[in-house]
A and B are shown apart, each in its own frame.
Chain A
Amino acid sequence: MDAQPLSVTQLLAQARSGDAAARDAAYELVYSELKRLAHRQLAAQRNATLCTTALVHEAYVRLSGSDASPTDRRHLIALGARAMRFVLVDHARRALAQKRDGEVQALTVTGGAVAGNDDEPSAADVLALDQALQRLGTLDPRLVQVVEWRFFGGLSEPEIAAELGLTERTVQRDWRRARAFLHKELG
C-alpha cells in the first residue's frame, strides 16, 4: 500500500456512485486498512491511544487523499467504528484464551482509596457486549448502527443524525433505548 497510495476520495467516490461490487471492493480496502491500524494501536500495550478518530486520521495518512470532503470523513469514521468493534472483540477473545492457558488468576481489589477504582470492564465484558449487540441487531438493526458509531466510533449525535438522515432527537432516543437494552443484557 505504501508503493501505490490510494486516494481515499477515489475509493469513497466509487463506493458511493459505483455498482455494488465496486462499492464493496472500495470499502473492503479502507476497512482492512483500518483494521490493521486498530490492531497496531492495540499492540504493545499502547491501548490508551485507542481512538477511532485517531484511527481515521491515520488512515488518511496511509491512504493519502487531499481533496476529501467532510462526508468522506464521516464514511471513514463509520468504517473505523466497525473496525474498532471487530478488533476489540478479536483481542478480547485472545486475552481470554491466554488467561485459560496460563491459568492466570484475575486479581481484583476494590475499595482502595485511589482513583480509577470503579468496576473496570473485563475482556469477558467486551465479548458479552458484542453478543448483546448481535441480539439487538435481530430486534432493531438501526440501533446497532447508532451504538457502533457513537460508542465505538465516537461520532456525535448530530453527525450520526446527518449520516442516517434522521433527526437528532431520533438518534438520542435510539441511543437511549439501545443503551438500556445493552446494559440490561450485560447487567
Chain B
Amino acid sequence: MNMPDATRWQRLGELFDHASTLAGTERVAFVDALQGEDAELRDELEALLAADDAGGLLDRDVGSLAGAVTQADASGTAIGPWRLGAVLGRGGMGAVYHATRADGAYTQEAALKLIHLGVDSPATRARFMRERQFLASLQHPHIARLLDGGVTADGAPYLAMELVDGERIDVYCDSRHLPVAARLRLILQVLGAAQHAHQRLIVHRDLKPSNILVDADGNAKLLDFGIATMLDASGAATLTRERPLTPDYAAPEQFAGQPVTTATDVYALGLVLAELLAGQSPRAERPTSAPLSTAVLAADGTAIAAARGTTVRALVRQLRGDLDTIVQRALASEPARRYSSAQALATDIELWLSGRPILARPDSWLYRSRMFVRRHRVGVAFSLLAAVALLAATAFSVQQARLARDAARDAEARALSLRAVNDTFDQLMHAEHFLADANGPASAARLLRENRSALDYFLVDQPLTRASLLWRNGRGLRLAGDAAGAVAVLHAANAAFAKAGAGTTLNGRDATLELARAQIDSGDMQAAAAELAALEQSLNPAEVNIELQRHAISLLRAKMALAAGQLEAARAQIATALALAPAPSGERGARYGTTALLAGAIALAQAHTEEAADRFTEALQAMSADPHAELAPPHQPLAPALETLARLGDTVAANDYAARWLDLRERFFGADSVQARAAAELQQRLLADKLPTLDEPERVARLREAFAAYWQATFVNYDVTRDQKPLNLDRDL
C-alpha cells in the first residue's frame, strides 16, 4: 500500500493481464493467492476482472453517446396518424415509442421508431420514402412488418413497425430450458427470414438477440430489417456511417469500415447461434477462435448446461465437432470464407439435425498459416497502396464536386460521393487483398463484380473518378483471371474516359492498354491488335510519356506474336520494347524486368537457351533493384528462369539465382518468414542434389520437385508438374 499510485497501477495491470487469461477455478485461485501479500490489491484486481467481464459504455459505438447528450422525449405527441405512448426503448439512432393509430380509421398498435437525424432536403425525403416503400414490401412470417413511415415536420424520419409481443430469443430459450436441437430449429426460422430479405438484397446489418423476438407460440420475429441500410442508402445520414451499430455483434469488416454485405448478417447470426448454443458470445471470451465446447468448459458450464436441459459433459459432446465447425465457418473473419448465404448456414444446421455430415470443413493448418502470412505482409503492402490511391481519389472527387455545384447542393453531393468513393475503394482494396493470394482470385472476382454494380449506380455525376475506378476494377478482374469480364468493364472504362474528354490522358491511355491486355488474355488477338493500332495512331509525339506508351505497345505485340507462334515477329517487337524500356535502375526496375522476362521466354521458344538464361538473370537483377517489384506475383521471375538454367545444366547459375531470390524474400518478408525459409530450403536442395551429374530429364524432375516443395511451403497452389508454359505465370506483363 506504500507504493505510489502509478507503480501500483502498473503492478495491478500486470496481474490483470495474467488473470484475464485464466478462467473458472484457476482464476479464482490466482486472485485468492494475493490475499496474503496485499488484500487490497486482491480486491482491486477482482473488481477489475468483474468490470472486464461485465462490459459497459466503452463497448458501444461512440455515436450512441451522441444520442445521450441530445435526446428528447416525444411521448404524448402525434406523428402522422400515430399518437405516441410510452418509450419502449432507446437506441443510438433514436427512441422507440408505443404508438396507436390516432386518425380513428381503425385500431392499430405499433412500435414507432423516431430517428434522431435530419432528412432536410426534398430529394433525401423522397429517397427515404421510396426506400420505405421498398422495405414495406418485405413480407415474411418471421420478419416484423414495416407498417408506415415518414418524416416529421422538423425533419426527423420515423418508422412504424409491427408491435411484437415476445421475448428476446436468448431469454426465451433459457427460460424454457430449450435443448440444443430446439434452439437450432428456432435459428432456422431466423435464417429463413434473413434469406428472404437477402434475396431481395436487403441487409440487416444489426442482428443481435435484442432484435430477434420469440412470441408465446414459438415464432421468431426479426425486427428492424433493412432499417440501418435504408437510412444509409436514403442519404438520411449526410455522412458515411462507418462504425458498426452494435460492436458486440459487428463483423470484422464493419470494424474495418469495409463494405457490408449479406455475409455481414451471416456473421452476426453466427454469433447469435454461438450464444444460443454455448451460453456466451465467442466475443466475450478470448481468443475468439476458441471452439464452443471449450467456451462451455471455461465458463460456469453447469448453469449453461442446465439452461439447455442437459449436463456439461453431454453438452460439450454435442457441441464438439460439427457444431463447432459450423459456428467457426459462420464467424470466419474474412467474408468470403463464411457461409455464402443464410441458406447455406441453414442447410448445414438441417444436416446436423438429421444426423448427416455437414458441408463445412474445419480450417486446415495450411489455410490458417496462409491467412497469417497474408495478413501480416503482403496485405499490408497492398492496403497501403490502396490507401494512397483512396486518398488521391478522395481529394480528386472533392475538387470535381466543388467545381460542379453551388454551395448548398455541394455539401450533400460531396458527402454522398465521398461515401461512394470510399465504399468502392474499400471493395477494390479488399479484392486486391485476395489477389495477393494464389487461392484468392475467385473471391476477388466476386467482390469486383459487386464493386462494378456499385460503380454503375454511384458516381454517375463524376465521370473521371468513375472512369478511374472502372479501370482499376477491370484490371483487378483481369488479374483475377476473368478476362471476359475484364474486357466488358474496360470497354466501359474507356468509354467513360472518352466521355469525360480524358481519353488521351495518361490514365485514359493506360485504360486502353489494360483493355488490350484483357483482350489478349481472353484470346481475342484481333481486337487487341486493333486497340493497339488505334492507340499508336493517336499518340502525339509531344506527349511526355510517349516512350512508355510505345514500350507497352511493343511489349503486348511481342506477347501476342509469341502466343501465335510468330517467333521472328515476337523477337522484333521485344527488341523494340527492350530499347524503349527505361534503364533497369531503381524504381523502374520492374518494367525493365518484365520486358527482359518476356525476351527470355521468346528466346527460350526459339531454343536460344543461353540467351534466355541471360535474359532471366537480367530480369531478376532489374527486379531486385526495384522496391515495388515484389508486389508483382511472386512466382513471376523464378519459375521460367530456374527451369531454363536447369535445362542448361548450369546449376551454379541456378544456385546463384536461388540465392538472389532468397535475398529478395528476406528483404521483403523478413529473414524469419515462411517465404525466406522456403527459399533457403530451395537453395539447399539445389546444392545438395548434385544436379550436374544427372542427365537432363532427371535434372528437370528434381528441380520441379524442389519447386513444388517451395510453392507448397509458401502456400501458393501451383502445380509445377502440370505447368508446361512458364509464360502463363506471367499475368502482369
Binding site for B on A (CB under 8 A): 41-42, 44-55, 57-58, 60-61, 64-70, 73, 84, 88, 91-92, 94-95, 104, 107-110, 112-118, 120-123, 125-126, 129, 138-140, 147, 151-152, 154, 156, 173, 176-177, 179-184, 186-187
Contacts and interface: CB of A to CB of B under 8 A. Distances in A.
B9 A61 contact: no
A2 B57 CA distance: 38
A160 B90 CA distance: 31
The majority secondary structure among interface residues of chain A is helix
B56 interface: yes
Contact of A183 (B52, B87, B255, B387): B52
Contacts of B9: 139-140
B116 A47 contact: yes
Contacts of B69: 42, 47, 88, 91-92, 94-95, 123, 126
A41 B70 contact: no
8 residue pairs, one from A and one from B, having the closest CB atoms = A116-B91, A117-B89, A47-B66, A112-B88, A54-B239, A184-B51, A183-B51, A114-B88
Interface stretch (B163-171, B435-443, B514-522, B624-632): B163-171
B55 A183 contact: yes
Interface stretch (B93-101, B298-306, B596-604, B666-674): B93-101
Interface in B45-75: 47-52, 54-60, 62-70, 72-73, 75
A111 B76 CA distance: 20
Interface string B210-242: 110100000000011000000100000111111
Interface stretch (B394-402, B559-567, B638-646, B701-709): B394-402
A119 to B, nearest CB: 9
B17 A177 contact: yes
Nearest to A68: B391
B86 A113 contact: no
16 contacts: A47-B117, A48-B115, A49-B117, A58-B239, A67-B392, A73-B391, A84-B62, A104-B73, A112-B96, A116-B96, A118-B89, A120-B64, A120-B67, A125-B65, A125-B68, A156-B255
Given A109-B87, A115-B211, A184-B47, A46 B238 contact: yes
Contacts of A177: 13, 16-17
A107 B89 contact: no
Nearest to A47: B66
B257 interface: yes
A166 B587 CA distance: 30
B240 A54 contact: yes
Nearest to A45: B116
B364 interface: no
B403 interface: no
Nearest to A179: B58
B488 interface: no
B256 A156 contact: yes
Contacts of B163: 114
Given A95-B70, A109-B87, A51 B395 contact: no
A180 B242 contact: no
A64 B397 CA distance: 11
Given A114-B89, A121-B67, 7 more contacts: A57-B239, A88-B62, A88-B65, A91-B69, A116-B90, A151-B58, A152-B62
Contact of A48 (B5, B73, B93, B155): B93
Interface in B641-682: none
B153 to A, nearest CB: 13
A77 B416 CA distance: 20
B462 interface: no
Contacts of B55: 183
Contacts of B93: 48, 116
B704 to A, nearest CB: 39
Contacts of A92: 68-69
Given A51-B242, A183-B54, A187-B56, A151 B88 contact: no
A88 B67 CA distance: 10
A7 B55 CA distance: 41
A176 B52 contact: yes
B68 A140 contact: no
Nearest to B223: A115
Nearest to A120: B90
Contacts of A125: 57, 65, 68
Contacts of A66: 392, 395-396, 399
A180 B49 contact: yes
Interface string B371-408: 00000000000001001100110111011000000000
A50 to B, nearest CB: 4
Contact of B68 (A108, A126, A147, A151): A126
A140 B387 CA distance: 32
Contacts of A118: 89, 91, 210
Q: Looking at B57, B96, B384, which has the most chain A CB atoms within 10 Å of its CB?
A: B57
A46 B62 contact: no
A133 to B, nearest CB: 10
Interface in B101-154: 111, 115-118
Contact of B51 (A91, A138, A180): A180
Contacts of A156: 255-256
Given A113-B88, A156-B255, A186-B57, A49 B238 contact: yes
Given A154-B62, A187-B54, A61 B414 contact: yes
A107 B156 CA distance: 20
B20 interface: yes
Given A70-B388, A184-B47, A122 B66 contact: no
Nearest to A90: B69
A104 B72 CA distance: 10
A67 B415 CA distance: 20
B290 to A, nearest CB: 16
Q: Looking at A41, A47, A54, which has the most chain B CB atoms within 10 Å of its CB?
A: A47
B226 to A, nearest CB: 13
B497 to A, nearest CB: 20
A144 B46 CA distance: 22
Contact of B118 (A44, A112, A123, A182): A44
B28 to A, nearest CB: 17
Nearest to A5: B402
Contacts of B66: 41-42, 47-48, 50, 88, 91
B254 to A, nearest CB: 11
B542 interface: no
B98 to A, nearest CB: 7
Nearest to A92: B69
B243 interface: yes
Contact of A154 (B115, B242, B394): B242
B88 A109 contact: yes
B623 to A, nearest CB: 25
A60 B64 CA distance: 24
Contacts of B396: 66
B316 to A, nearest CB: 27
A55 B240 CA distance: 9
Contacts of B75: 107
A109 B6 contact: no
A184 B57 CA distance: 11
Given A61-B414, A66-B399, A47 B63 contact: yes
A147 B135 CA distance: 38
A55 to B, nearest CB: 8
A3 to B, nearest CB: 13
B87 A69 contact: no
A57 B394 contact: yes
A126 B65 contact: yes
Contacts of B242: 51, 53-54, 154
Nearest to B410: A61
A159 to B, nearest CB: 10
A114 B96 contact: yes
A39 B63 CA distance: 13
B470 interface: no
Q: Looking at B65, B86, B87, B241, which has the most chain A CB atoms within 10 Å of its CB?
A: B65
B92 interface: yes
Contact of A116 (B48, B54, B89, B422): B89
